[in-house]
Amino acid sequence: MSVRAIRGATTVIENSRESILKDTKELLLAMQETNNFNTEDIICIFFSMTSDLDAAFPAEAARQLGWNTVPLFGMQEADVRNSLEKCIRILLQLNSNKVQADFQHCYLKKAKSLRKDLNYKEERKDKKWC
């Protein structure tokens, strides 16, 4: 087994606890469903939020999903002028026998603009999430 990583990001409509937790759960579930991993395989998850979000910790969404044994770490994203607003980013590390290229990163909502190289319209039109 090797350590692998999956990236993901999403945006929220508003700086509210409900919005942050709902959209973070959606992203975590999309990452899990798309990449077919078990929570027991997760080493840790890093969460970051842009400075315009402060109503909740996105890591709480993982706890609400029952991911209680996974180490979680939250931080504030670098405050870069003209960057995407109301954005939550995730870096999930896990143990896997798969090669890195087998994993699919998940960018939802306005966060799709962060990875224009991931051709969502054509290559992933048959996918539910990413």
CA distance 123 to 1: 28
Q: How far is CA 77 from CA 36, 43, 50, 84, in A?
A: 27, 21, 5, 11
Q: Is residue 109 part of a domain?
A: yes
CA distance 116 to 4: 22
Q: Is residue 28 part of a domain?
A: yes
What pLDDT score does 5 carry?
98
What pLDDT score does 115 carry?
82
N-terminal to C-terminal alpha carbon distance within the chain: 25
What pLDDT score does 116 carry?
76
Q: Is residue 129 part of a domain?
A: no
State how many domains the chain has. 1
The CATH number that applies at residue 118 is: 3.30.1330.40
Residue numbers of the domain that contains 18: 2-123
Mean of pLDDT values over 67-77: 97
Which of 3-7, 112-116, 118-122 has the lowest average pLDDT?
118-122
Q: Is residue 103 part of a domain?
A: yes
Mean of pLDDT values over 45-63: 98
Q: Could you give the 3-state DSSP secondary structure of residue 2?
A: strand
Nearest CA to 89 out of 121, 125, 114, 64 is that of 114
- Residue for token digits 């999430």? 129
Query: Which helix (H) or strand (E) is 3 found in, with range?
Result: strand 2-11
Nearest CA to 87 out of 123, 51, 118, 62 is that of 51
User: Is the pLDDT score of 123 beyond 60?
Assistant: no
Q: Is residue 130 part of a domain?
A: no
Percent of the chain with pLDDT over 70: 91
